[in-house]
Amino acid sequence: MKSEFEFIKYIKKSYGLNAVGDDCAILPKDDKTDMVVTADMLVEDVDFRLEWTTPEFLGHKALAVSLSDIAAMGAVPKWAMLTLAVPKSLWQTDFVKHFFDGWTSLANRYRIELVGGDISSSPDKFVIDSIACGEVEKGNATLRSGAKVGDAICVSGSLGGAAAGLKILERNGGGESGYSGFIGRQLQPNPRVELGRFLNVNRVANSMIDISDGLSSDLHHICEASGVGAEIESNLIPIDEGIVREFGIESQSLALNGGEDFELLFTVAEEKISMVADHDVTRIGTITKHSEIIELIDGDARMKLDASGYRHF
């Protein structure tokens, strides 16, 4: 068995799964509306460590990762379900209550209703499955597959912060001062719900994905789905100065492959690029016709950029 991406391709092909393959599945709701649904599993000691976070941050993040998927479709989040497998030792504390406090605090910001879920015991690890549903005008969800040759490639916010935060946590358990911003990006990411919706409603983005696996992997997903290639300029990638100061030459790799920034990566027709001028958005490159080939331009040098983001397998 290969990576999870290859396996998903395999079952998609084997069983004719047409709805699988974007940040969310799209399902018809009524004459005017489509639903988008997504599920994300977070596993203790794979996706998080209890000693590095708080229950409130973890509840926030569980919902945030799903809202980021809904944002990437340009949809409005509506309701959610939450499924937990809880070790008995954790159940005996207030952990789950505080986890729900964190979850609810973010949910309230977007008026998301918790409609159901499940609570099971777990032999050892805390496991979360976060399910969320959004709505978008019928036929109008923003897909990975809509990128066109000549589109500008844009990214919101800055990249590498979540991976930098993880590095710092790995190094010293978060005790060091001065890097709380990066640790915050790792532990309490903010989904770009309003931006995703703006890009959708105003038909700005031709294609979109959220950066969960890492820029290199997620740009590959867009190129593969759209049958196009891309070139991005190294010096245009928005990396926090603080990361460069702390991690030096490693910064570029954190920004390209680190993942979990939960920013939006999208493509825009050249004539519409001015529409994002007032938003926290950076143009980093251009869509090319070279199917599934991504080139990183660094001064006079060009190198092929592989998908090197996070893989479970």
Nearest to 50 by CA among 93, 15, 3, 109: 93
Nearest to 305 by CA among 205, 222, 182, 207: 222
Q: Taking CB under 8 A as the criterion, which residues in 15-44 touch a copy of itself?
A: 15, 17-20, 24-25, 27, 29-31, 37-44
In degrees to the nearest 10, what's the CA dihedral of 207, 213, 219, 223?
A: -80
Angle between helix axes 55-72 and 180-187 (nearest 10 degrees) is: 70
Residue number, 83 or 282, with CB nearest to a copy of itself: 83
Task: Rule CB under 8 A: say whether 297 interacts with a copy of itself.
Answer: no
Task: Give min distance, CB of 147 to a copy of itself, in A.
Answer: 21
Residue number, 115 or 303, with CB nearest to a copy of itself: 115
Residue number, 107 or 199, with CB nearest to a copy of itself: 107
A 10 A CB-CB count for 181 gives 13
Q: Which amino acid is at 106?
A: L
List C-alpha distances in Å: 279 to 50, 76, 138, 275, 283. 35, 19, 26, 8, 11
193 membership: H or E segment, kind and range: helix 193-201
Task: Give min distance, CB of 184 to a copy of itself, in A.
Answer: 23
204 and 210 Cβ atoms separated by less than 8 Å: no
Phi, psi at residue 301, to the nearest 5°? -90, 145
DSSP 269: -
239 and 255 Cβ atoms separated by less than 8 Å: yes
Task: Give min distance, CB of 97 to a copy of itself, in A.
Answer: 8
Q: Taking CB under 8 A as the criterion, which residues in 108-167 touch a copy of itself?
A: 113-125, 127, 129, 131
Residue number, 189 or 229, with CB nearest to a copy of itself: 189
Task: Rule CB under 8 A: say whether 92 interacts with a copy of itself.
Answer: yes
Task: Give min distance, CB of 174 to a copy of itself, in A.
Answer: 21
Task: Rule CB under 8 A: say whether 104 interacts with a copy of itself.
Answer: yes
Q: How many residues bind a copy of itself (CB under 8 A)?
A: 62
Q: Per-residue x/- mask for a copy of itself, residues 52 to 91, rule CB under 8 A?
A: ---------------------------x-x-xxxx-x--x
311 and 4 Cβ atoms separated by less than 8 Å: yes
Q: Which amino acid is at 238?
A: P
Task: Give min distance, CB of 141 to a copy of itself, in A.
Answer: 13
Residue number, 17 or 236, with CB nearest to a copy of itself: 17
Task: Give min distance, CB of 263 to a copy of itself, in A.
Answer: 20
Give the residues across from 121 on adjacent strands. 86
List interacting residues with a copy of itself (CB under 8 A): 1, 4, 7-8, 10-11, 14-15, 17-20, 24-25, 27, 29-31, 37-47, 79, 81, 83-86, 88, 91-94, 96-97, 100, 104, 113-125, 127, 129, 131, 312-313
